[in-house]
Structure 1
């Protein structure tokens, strides 16, 4: 079974959220600014995907006046319908996660291994920084009930990331306390 393309749905969602035509650079900037806490997209992936989405009929493309190299993309009715269909289907696959810390810990065999506390402390530092970032994003983006209501899905995902980070941080600190 072929792997489902996720990036086009991200781009379609960005287009609906921005409510305007966009460039490839604006897609990349949006991903970095808004969803990089839980999803990464390489700049090099965006332009080939935009081209495929035009071929699929989900977007139309036109040059930016005065800059023939830059293109703007517009959402079609078929693209909007594709996003709506994709949003309606629950995700059933377990995502592949690239968690290097867990991979390293998995291969350590002895509880007395001197690398364990070093790895734990490094991960604690990393998670504390990430948690501060997530909490500041929450304060910045959702200072009122109205802002929460206007972007409720984003609010929920950001809250989930905060709760996960806190739980993981608690586990790391409890584990480190055993050393």
Structure 2
């Protein structure tokens, strides 16, 4: 497949971006890096991290070098085509805003048949989940802030903290004062 025929996906840009930041990397190393960073704001199946580098290498966006002995790991590096594709993507305006997909909020929306106690239980579970998420963010900050300060890679962490705090606060409000069920729909219209 020629380089100009390949469709680059968000996962492609995750791979290109991580290799740009890290240098030569194996798919396993990319997965480990995702688990400590990108995963908190961009979810995708990690199995894609094992397929995508080879696809990008076949299209000329990455070079690959295989170890001669041992485990024969494959290390991927950016080519000029890959670097150019990443820079073009970074410069392109984003045409959409944050898209929320939260199952707990979906359940809240459809919860009219639940008693207030079930809603409180849902809210308390969510509070606990967000407290754990905030603790994880604090651990990341303790490890990464000395190295990065408040640079651009730490900005998404600050956003994650603000979002998690807002969600925790929202669920605390639901827990303390569960909203009443919505009135039945008027089916005459």
TM-score using structure 1 length: 0.85
Distance in 2 between the 1:98 and 1:90 partners?
23
The count of corresponding residues between Structure 1 and Structure 2 is 172
Gap regions ≥5 residues in structure 1: none
Shift of 1:41: 3.8
Which one of the candidate residues 124, 140, 145 is aligned to 1:142?
A: 145
1:40 aligns with: 43
Shift of 1:110: 4.9
Distance in 2 between the 1:33 and 1:127 partners?
17
1:10 aligns with: 14
Alignment pair present for 1:160 and 2:159: yes
Larger radius of gyration, structure 1 or 2? 2
Gap regions ≥5 residues in structure 2: 1-6, 179-189
1:30 aligns with: 33
Shift of 1:36: 2.1
1:172 aligns with: 171
Alignment pair present for 1:21 and 2:13: no
State the superposition RMSD in angstroms: 2.2
Higher relative contact order (CA 8 A, sep 6+): 2
TM-score using structure 2 length: 0.81
Alignment of 1:112-151 (within 5 A): 112-143=115-146, 147-148=148-149
